[in-house]
Amino acid sequence: MSGSGSYDVALKLLLQGRATLTMRELTGTAITKWLDVELPKVQNLRLDLLGETVDGGLVHLELQSSNDAAMPCRMIEYCLGVRRLFGQFPRQILLYVGEAPMRMESELHGPDLSFQYRLIDIRTLNGDRLLESADVGDNVIAILAQLRDDKEAVHKIVGRIAGLTTAEKETALAQLTILAGLRHLARTVEQETRKMPIDLDIRDHETLGPMFIEAEQKGRQEGELAVLRRLIENRFGTLPRWASEKLAALPTSGLEDLSERLLDAKNVEELLR
């Protein structure tokens, strides 16, 4: 999964676990076994997820959080690698989970060649339906899908997580916070968690703890950036593109420094010099 930070691990664990409805929505079938496959040959490719279906077929699910013009070439390489290893072609699905509009192709054509796979933007899935699933994995993945009310959805998901066992709470809450970062909802998750009877520190989770801390820090930085941007625009008006890009690239320490200098700066150029 390219350009994904820690999101790929969290999402793969969810899809391999309690996310039955999501997998059926994506593949139209049930996965009976997940296969750990590293493809041989020149590039030593590793697929995100390869599963064996109830009828003995193979489903390859690739996760992508950024637009990559080379995806058709990568997908056909994956397809041929699976064919060499297992003697059959997999059904292939590229699941896009990014924030930017999806702009990738799902076909590859050439002289005497026609290759195609399914390309799905996770926002086309019915998130409200996933919220009603009995599987907590589906509930968590709903944060990335199409929802009528993001904040109400977070409230429902955190409420569901609160009823799990301690170990399950720890994992599910870490996964939710990590994925919420893809939709700028990490702070909302943090706020809802404080209201719920959840007494645990998921930072201690061996696998997801470091990813949770990364997502939590990113959520706080995004909140500080949003507040600072509003203050700057209230004083100097709409920011030019160069200023927005420079502001977005600053670390937390840089944002704090700007906050201190904002009142003394005469214009945006002086503030962001």
Mean pLDDT of the chain: 83
Average pLDDT of span 229-247: 79
With vertex at residue 189, the alpha carbon angle to CA 184 and CA 194, rounded to the nearest 5 degrees, is 145
- The answer to whether residue 204 scores a pLDDT higher than 70 is no
Using a cut of 0.75, tell me whether the model's pTM lies above it.
no
Domains with residue ranges and CATH for the chain: 7-124 (3.40.1350), 127-219 (no CATH), 233-271 (no CATH)
Q: Report d(CA 234, CA 258) in Å as an integer.
A: 15
- The answer to whether residue 42 scores a pLDDT higher than 50 is no
Query: Looking at 164-168, 169-173, 237-241, 246-250, which range is the least confident one?
Result: 246-250
pLDDT in tens, 77-129: 999 999 999 999 999 999 999 888 899 999 999 999 999 999 999 999 999 99
- DSSP secondary structure letters along 152-202: HHHHHHHHHHHTS-HHHHHHHHHHHHHHHGGGT-HHHHHHHHHHS-----G
User: Binning pLDDT at 50, 70 and 90, where does residue 144 land?
Assistant: very high
Residue 80 is predicted with a pLDDT of 93
